[in-house]
C-alpha cells in the first residue's frame, strides 16, 4: 500500500534511544508532595501507610515490567533499574519513562484505599520521571548509595526536627536548634533530650525500601486435580536492607550480573 502524502511527518520524531549497554535508571518523584502529604494528613516525619502505597505501586510496576531487576524507594520517590541488556521499547527513553510513571501513578491511586480506608484521595496524584544511563556497575551502585544516603540524611533531620516540635517548641525554634549541626549532634540531641536511639528506629524509615525478585514458594489449587500445588516463583519483595555496603550485593550477585 502506498504511503500517504502525510507520512513525511514521521521524520520529525527524533531518535531518543538510551545509550546501548548501559544501566538505565528511571526515577519517579511525587509532584508537590509537600502539599499532598499535608492535605492527606500524613504522619510526621514518616507515614507508614503512605510508604505502603508507594511500595505497592512500585511492586505493581515490577510485576508489569519484567525487565526491572531492582527498585529503591524513599519519601515520595522510586528508582527502577533496567540492566544493560534490556531492550524494552528498543530502549526509547520517552516510551520507557512514560510507561513506568503512568503505571506507578495509576497503581498509587488504585491501591490508595487499601492503605487509607478512611481517607479519601483528594487530588489526582502526579509524579514526574527521568531516565539516566549509568555506564558501569560502580556508578550504578554509587547512584543507589546516593539515594539511600539522602534517605538517611533527611530522615535523621526530620526525626530530630519533629521530636523538638512535638516537645512544644515552634518549627522556627526547631530549625534554629538544628542549623549547622552534624549527624552526631542530631543523634546526641535525640538520645539525651528525647531518649530516642536513632539506630533503633524501624529500618523502613532509616534505610528506605528495596524491591528485588525473590524466589518464593507460591501455593495454588490445581484446576485439574483440585489439590494444592506449590511452585517456585520470583516475587517482587520489599526489603529495608543497607545497599551502600558490599554485603547486600554479595548476597544478591545476580543483580549486577552483566557483561558491562
Ligand atoms: P516536587 O517534587 O518538586 O514537585 O515537590 P515536593 O513537594 O514533592 O518535594 P520533594 O519531592 O523534594 O519532597 C517530598 C515531600 O513529601 C516533602 O515535603 C515531605 C513529603 N513527604 C514524603 N513522605 C512523607 C511522609 O511520610 N510524611 C510526611 N508528613 N511528609 C512526607
Ligand atoms: Mg522534586
Ligand atoms: Mg516530590
Ligand atoms: Mg522527593
Ligand atoms: Mg499504541
Instruction: Note the pLDDT tens digit of each residue in 176-215.
Output: 999 999 999 999 999 999 999 999 999 999 999 999 999 9
Q: Is the CB of 50 under 6 A from ligand 1?
A: yes
Q: Is the CB of 32 under 6 A from ligand 1?
A: yes
Average pLDDT, stretch 113-128?
98
Instruction: Note the pLDDT tens digit of each residue in 61-84.
Output: 999 999 999 999 999 999 999 999
C-alpha cell at 57: 505501586
Q: Is the CB of 29 under 6 A from ligand 1?
A: yes
Three-state SS for 167-217 is CCCCHHHHHHHHCCCCHHHHHHHHHHHHCCCHHHCCHHHHHCEEEEEEEEE
C-alpha Rg value of the chain to the nearest Å:
22
Q: Which domains does the chain have, with CATH numbers?
A: 14-148+203-207 (3.30.70.3000)
Contact 87, 36 (CB under 8 A): no
Residue 1: pLDDT band (50, 70, 90) is low
Contact 152, 204 (CB under 8 A): no
Neighbours of ion ligand 3 (CB under 5 A): 29-30, 33, 76
Lowest mean pLDDT among 94-98, 136-140, 207-211, 222-226: 222-226
Instruction: Note the pLDDT tens digit of each residue in 20-31.
Output: 999 999 999 999
Q: Alpha-carbon distance 108 to 115, whole Å?
A: 10
Strands (E) located in 61-207: 70-74, 77-82, 127-134
Q: Alpha-carbon distance 201 to 198, whole Å?
A: 6
Kindly report the average pLDDT of the chain as a whole number.
96
CA of 141 to the centre of ligand 3 (A): 23
C-alpha cell at 137: 556497575
Which residue's CA is the closest to the ligand 1 atom numbered 20?
34
CA of 138 to the centre of ligand 2 (A): 25
Residue whose C-alpha cell reads 489449587 in the numeric block: 221
Give the number of the ligand closest to the Cα of residue 95. 5
Q: How many CA within 13 A on the CB side of residue 111?
A: 20
Residue 113 has pLDDT above 70, yes or no: yes
ipTM: 0.96
Contact 23, 82 (CB under 8 A): yes
Amino acid at each position: 500500500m502506498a504511503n500517504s502524502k502525510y507520512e513525511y511527518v514521521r521524520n520529525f520524531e527524533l531518535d531518543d534511544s538510551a545509550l546501548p549497554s548501559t544501566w538505565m535508571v528511571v526515577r519517579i518523584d511525587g509532584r508537590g508532595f509537600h502539599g499532598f502529604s499535608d492535605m492527606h494528613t500524613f504522619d510526621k516525619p514518616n507515614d507508614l501507610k503512605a510508604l505502603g502505597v508507594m511500595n505497592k505501586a512500585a511492586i505493581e510496576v515490577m510485576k508489569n515490567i519484567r525487565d526491572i531487576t531492582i527498585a529503591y524507594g524513599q519519601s515520595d520517590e522510586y528508582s527502577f533499574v533496567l540492566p544493560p541488556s534490556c531492550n524494552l521499547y528498543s530502549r526509547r527513553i520517552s516510551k520507557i519513562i512514560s510507561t513506568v510513571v503512568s503505571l506507578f501513578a495509576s497503581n498509587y491511586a488504585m491501591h490508595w484505599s487499601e492503605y487509607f480506608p478512611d481517607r479519601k484521595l483528594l487530588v489526582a496524584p502526579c509524579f514526574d520521571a527521568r531516565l539516566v544511563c549509568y555506564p558501569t556497575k560502580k556508578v550504578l551502585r554509587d547512584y543507589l548509595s546516593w539515594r539511600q544516603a539522602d534517605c538517611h540524611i533527611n530522615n535523621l533531620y526530620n526525626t530530630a526536627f519533629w521530636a523538638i516540635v512535638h516537645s512544644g517548641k515552634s518549627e522556627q525554634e526547631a530549625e534554629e536548634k538544628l542549623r549547622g549541626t552534624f549527624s552526631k549532634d542530631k543523634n546526641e540531641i535525640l538520645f539525651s533530650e528525647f531518649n530516642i536511639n536513632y539506630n533503633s528506629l524501624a529500618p523502613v524509615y532509616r534505610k528506605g525500601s528495596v524491591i528485588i525478585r525473590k524466589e518464593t514458594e507460591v501455593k495454588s489449587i490445581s484446576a485439574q486435580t483440585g489439590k494444592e500445588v506449590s511452585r517456585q516463583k520470583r516475587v517482587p519483595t520489599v526489603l529495608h536492607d543497607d545497599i551502600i555496603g558490599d554485603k547486600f550485593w554479595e548476597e544478591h550477585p545476580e543483580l549486577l550480573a552483566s557483561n558491562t
